Amino acid sequence: MVTIKVKLLSVLMVTLISCGEGMDTASSLEREDIENIWWQLTDIGMCFNIHESGDLLTYINQVHNEGKWLYEEPLTYIVDDDEYTIYENKNYIYIDFKNLSFEIEDCTLR
């Protein structure tokens, strides 16, 4: 019985370790790579721009100002009480918002 538990534990450890392989824990992205560029939520018809004016702009058929943003390390923008964190993983860029993660790419709607 002990042997089965040890083998099961070993399998679980290997699985957990392999799940983390390929994850970029240190992003090479800088503020300059993100700000003042129109980004699109992949598969969603909405773009956004963390504009140099200090405003978060969104675009769905027209530009809308979501409010002023504040910057916090690492690549986190706060608008009102909402946090938006941007990171890179396996050559894709993502934005996290309210426990949801969206892949982002250059905006093609404008």
The pLDDT of residue 45 is 87
Q: List pLDDT tens digits, range 64-101.
A: 999 999 999 999 999 999 999 999 999 999 999 999 99
The pLDDT of residue 26 is 54
Closest among 51, 89, 91 to 71, alpha carbons compared: 51
The 10 Å CB-count burial string (b at 16+, else e) for 56-80 is bbebeeeeeeeeebeeeeebebbbe
Which has the higher per-residue pLDDT, 44 or 103? 103
Q: How many CB atoms lie within 10 A of CB 39?
A: 20
Q: List pLDDT tens digits, range 27-48.
A: 689 999 999 999 999 988 899 9
Closest among 94, 91, 77, 81 to 40, alpha carbons compared: 94
The pLDDT of residue 24 is 45
CB 82 within 8 A of CB 28: no
The pLDDT of residue 15 is 29
Q: List pLDDT tens digits, range 1-19.
A: 433 333 333 322 322 223 3
Closest among 87, 59, 55 to 70, alpha carbons compared: 55
Domain definitions of the chain by residue range = 26-106
The span from the CA of 38 to the CA of 68, in Å, is 16
The CATH class given to the 26-106 domain equals: mainly beta
Which DSSP category does 109 fall into? -
